[in-house]
Amino acid sequence: MLSSVFRRNKLLINSNLNKITSCQYVYHRKFSDESHPDFQPKKTAIPTGMEDVLKLIDEQVKTNNIMLYMKGTPSKPQCGFSGQVVRILNAIGVSFSTVNVMEFPLIREGIKEYSEWPTIPQLYIDGEFIGGCDIVSDMFKDGDLVTMLED
Amino acid sequence: FRLLTRRMSSKSASSSAGPVAAAIAKKLSDAFAPVFLDVINESHMHSVPKNSETHFKVVVVSDKFDGVGALQRHRMVNTTLKDELESGVHALSIRAKTPAQWSKNSTVPQSPACLGGSKHDQKQKQ
């Protein structure tokens, strides 16, 4: 179970968050409840100011090859459009990182400003904004998404 | 050009295009002079109150998209509908085609089923 979580649905980890001193929310590194201390949930803080949020997002998209901002999680999406993008990525068979914007309102607003794109989901590949569900779906149908991911 | 503003649901006989749908149709027709335009209120497919105007699909066929990539086409539509997207439209599915593309393929994929995310937003507001 744990290996499948990492293989398919690597959840986002940001070790640089500890540098940010002004914090309001926390999020959890989600693992199964194994007994080994290395796998215990660790709480990390996220910033309150939008400038810090934008820096965080910038780091997220640049350090994760495939980065999806979605509603819900890959195993339990809370939006049909987000779920469709997850199904596409799973169908291709790539590992990808996600942020559940329902848990992080600041990131939900921040990603819209960062991308200059008003809706969720939002997919980034190698730091480049690809688009939302419609564009990702069309690219998948045309074969362009697979080509891009192979490159 | 053909302009269609769909009713929210065939079940709701008394419903007609709401003010948001009408505003979307007007802005898109003014901006793109489309040969075909369809504004579909899909709010009834989501966990939102009855008669909501929060989830839309728009089909815009215009030669203004000639030579423009998919991402930029969507940005053009998003910019045109900026006010609506900032004030209540929660989801916007866009089909932006040139007349040549539309004549080859005029099918519009069905939007995916709601998974309850809007319910979460309703609870957050309360």
ipTM: 0.80
Say if the Cβ atoms of B71 and A118 lie within 8 Å.
no
β pairing state of A96-100 and A128-131: unpaired
Mutate to test the interface with B, among A75, A135, A138, A140 (most CBs of B within 10 A): A135
Quote the minimal CA–CA distance from A104 to chain B in Å. 12
Polymer length in residues for chain A: 151
Distance CA A67, CA A96 (A): 6
Say if the Cβ atoms of A84 and B113 lie within 8 Å.
no
Tell me the pLDDT band of B14, cut-offs 50, 70 and 90.
Answer: very low
Distance CA A46, CA A13 (A): 11
Contact status, residue A105 vs residue A120, Cβ threshold 8 Å = no
β-sheet bridge partners, residue A4: none
Q: Which of B65, B125, B126 is nearest to B94 (CA)?
A: B65
Q: Which of A113, A116, A109, A111 is nearest to A98 (CA)?
A: A111
What pLDDT is recorded for position B48? 81
- Asked whether the predicted pLDDT for residue A81 surpasses 80, the reply is yes
Say if the Cβ atoms of A135 and B71 lie within 8 Å.
yes
Mutate to test the interface with A, among B24, B71, B77, B79 (most CBs of A within 10 A): B71
Contact status, residue A27 vs residue A104, Cβ threshold 8 Å = yes
Quote the minimal CA–CA distance from B14 to chain A in Å. 28
Taking the whole predicted model, whether its pTM rises above 0.95 is answered as no
What pLDDT is recorded for position B16? 57
Q: Which of B121, B112, B115, B46 is nearest to A103 (CA)?
A: B121
What pLDDT is recorded for position B124? 57
Contact status, residue B95 vs residue B57, Cβ threshold 8 Å = yes
Mean pLDDT estimate for chain A: 79
pLDDT per residue over B26-80, tens digit each?
A: 999 999 999 999 999 998 888 788 889 999 999 999 999 999 999 999 999 999 9
Contact status, residue A127 vs residue A61, Cβ threshold 8 Å = yes
User: Which of B90, B109, B115 is closest, CB to CB, to A77?
Assistant: B115
- Name the more confident of A65 and B106: A65
What pLDDT is recorded for position B122? 58
Say if the Cβ atoms of B120 and A118 lie within 8 Å.
no
Residues of A in contact with B86 (CB under 8 A): 118
A25 sits in which H/E element: strand A23-28
- Cβ within 8 Å of B, A 41-100: 71-72, 77-84
Contact status, residue B68 vs residue B103, Cβ threshold 8 Å = no
Tokens 């201390």 identify what position?
A37
Residues of A in contact with B85 (CB under 8 A): 118-119
Q: DSSP character for B115?
A: -
Mutate to test the interface with A, among B57, B83, B90, B115 (most CBs of A within 10 A): B115
Contact status, residue B25 vs residue B3, Cβ threshold 8 Å = yes
Q: With H, G, I as helix, E, B as strand and everything else as coil, classify residue B86.
A: helix
Please state the φ and ψ torsions of residue A7, each to the nearest 5 degrees.
Answer: -70, -40
Report the percent of chain A where pLDDT is more than 90. Answer: 65
What pLDDT is recorded for position A27? 39
Arithmetic mean of pLDDT, A103-129: 96
Residues of A in contact with B123 (CB under 8 A): none
Tell me the pLDDT band of A2, cut-offs 50, 70 and 90.
Answer: very low
pLDDT per residue over B4-13, tens digit each?
A: 655 443 333 3
Please report how the helices A133-142 and A80-92 are oriented relative to each other, as an axis angle in degrees rounded to 10. 30
Rounded-to-5 percentages of helix, strand, coil across chain B: 40, 20, 40
